[in-house]
């Protein structure tokens, strides 16, 4: 039920508006389906899906307003939510910045934020994305970690002044981090490779130094640093659309 059509959402919201006894009312329906998969150290660790629909009702008397929410949609539950919002609005203090809801508006017929292909992402697709990241990393002795999250949802709004609006949207975000271990050689203070020997007065001889070079790197010379031994080279790639 997470993704309601425009007609389904409008039918529920019309019922809600019809239950109102306040000076005015606005109601909003939101629904979302989502899924995710997480992998680390070249292995899938978690995956899951979630689905939610909720209704928010805002009733007002003059400049006093109250809000109630619910996730049940039978007639009795809808009316109970409206009554609760009205009770809360009568208990609330007046809001000097209160603005009445918009009247009827004209919107485009189609949602510009919906991708049909994204809406059809399945658990199998998520697993394949993880595999396509893990397999090439494993072959090159690289450690991969990542997270894929996708969603599809809708939002509908209606009020007692005739406004009705509906939109649906999709989203996906995928992040991968890869780590490659590097060979580390440590030289005690005062003992550098011959090609880098310096005079006893050199400051280099007074501290511990580390020489770091990636595996299979060409012998282009020594790189001496003041830091402790490195544990790897890390790069991150992020994509969202």
Does pLDDT of 161 surpass 60? yes
pLDDT at 66: 97
| Cα–Cα dist 72/15, whole Å | 13
CATH, domain range 6-180: 3.30.2290.10
Residue, of 143 and 182, whose pLDDT is higher? 143
| Domain ranges across the chain | 6-180, 183-240
pLDDT at 180: 82
Does pLDDT of 196 surpass 90? no
**Percent of the residues in the chain that have a pLDDT greater than 70, as a whole number:** 75
Residue, of 235 and 64, whose pLDDT is higher? 64
Q: Which tokens go with 209? A: 């130094």
Does pLDDT of 106 surpass 60? yes
How many residues comprise the chain?
241
Say if residues 81 and 70 touch (Cβ distance below 8 Å): yes
């Amino acid at each position: 039920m997470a993704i309601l059509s425009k007609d389904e959402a409008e039918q529920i919201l019309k019922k809600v508006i019809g239950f109102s006894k306040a000076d005015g009312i606005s109601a909003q329906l939101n629904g979302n389906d989502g899924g995710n998969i997480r992998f680390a150290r070249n292995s899938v660790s978690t995956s899951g899906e979630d689905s939610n629909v909720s209704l928010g009702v805002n009733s007002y008397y003059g400049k006093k307003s109250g809000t109630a929410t619910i996730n049940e949609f039978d007639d009795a539950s809808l009316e109970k939510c409206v009554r609760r919002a009205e009770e809360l609005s009568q208990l609330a203090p007046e809001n000097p910045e209160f603005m009445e809801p918009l009247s009827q508006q004209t919107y485009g017929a189609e949602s510009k934020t919906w991708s049909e292909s994204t809406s059809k992402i399945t658990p199998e697709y998520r697993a394949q994305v993880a595999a396509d990241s893990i397999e090439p990393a494993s072959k090159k002795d690289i450690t991969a970690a990542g997270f894929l999250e996708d969603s599809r949802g809708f939002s509908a709004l209606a009020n007692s002044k005739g406004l009705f609006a509906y939109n649906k949207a999709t989203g996906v975000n995928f992040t991968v981090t890869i780590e490659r271990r590097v060979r580390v050689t440590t030289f005690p203070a005062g003992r550098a490779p011959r090609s880098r020997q310096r005079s006893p007065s050199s400051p280099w001889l007074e501290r511990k130094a580390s020489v770091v070079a990636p595996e299979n790197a060409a012998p282009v010379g020594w790189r001496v640093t003041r830091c402790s031994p490195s544990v790897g080279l890390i790069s991150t790639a992020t994509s969202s659309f």
